[in-house]
Structure 1
């Protein structure tokens, strides 16, 4: 009988940051509110058995990596989103799949809009 590896998805949802991403000069001065959502697929067999944090993907480290990338100004959401996903793969080789979504709240689009988002998967 084949043993199935317990693959799971860890999600960090609606992490909120105040940052200075945007193409307009005003956005780089005034800043805006951003939300980041991360989904990471990884083998959860070992942490499920041991119940030890050192055997699990460290959520705090994921948050810190996202925060670090959000603090670096980018013109485009595509750029900051790519930096986040690259950083996650660099620091966590056990990632099998990842989705990163970054949303700019109330973007300056000349009309009422709740958010604009970019999502990358790898």
Structure 2
């Protein structure tokens, strides 16, 4: 097995619990790691025989930009489940979502959640 990774996808979304987050929006960053049988997929050297990461990118950004969630945990779960549904070659999905504009009185870079979903 191997990994196909797309790192640091940046989207502008309107997710969050507070009304200001839903009205003003914010930037999120998403990392995707897909476990796939690379030893089988890489032998054919054909895009149709593997997972098209351009389409994976489009799936992730479409969900993040068109769906609205209070929790980034819910967003990550929805994206993970959809990737397993759309891409049958994917055995598992590991997803990280980073949120920078977090309403916490403190000094820190971001809040990050990580989810891993297996087929």
Global fold match (TM > 0.5): yes
2:95 to 90, 93, 100: 100
Q: 2:79 matched to 1:84? A: yes
Q: 2:10 matched to 1:16? A: yes
Alignment of 1:1-122 (within 5 A): 7-71=1-65, 72-122=67-117
Q: Is the 8 A contact 1:65 1:88 kept in 2?
A: yes
What CA distance in whole angstroms lies between the structure 2 residues aligned with 1:73 and 1:114? 23
Deviates more, 1:109-118 or 1:14-23: 109-118
Give the Å deviation of 1:28.
Answer: 0.4
Give the Å deviation of 1:54.
Answer: 1.0
Q: Where do 5+ consecutive residues of structure 2 fail to align?
A: none
What CA distance in whole angstroms lies between the structure 2 residues aligned with 1:85 and 1:23? 21
Aligned residues: 116
> CA RMSD, aligned part only?
1.1
Moved over 2 A (4+): none
What CA distance in whole angstroms lies between the structure 2 residues aligned with 1:113 and 1:76? 19
TM-score by length of 1: 0.89
TM-score by length of 2: 0.91
Give the Å deviation of 1:51.
Answer: 1.3
Look up the match of 1:3.
Answer: none
Deviates more, 1:10-19 or 1:111-120: 111-120
Q: Where do 5+ consecutive residues of structure 1 fail to align?
A: 1-6
The structure whose Rg is larger is 1
For residues 54-86 of structure 1, what are the alpha-carbon distances to aligned partners after superposition, in whole Å with 9 as ceiling and x for unaligned?
Answer: 111110111111111111110001110010001
Q: Secondary structure at the match of 2:113?
A: strand
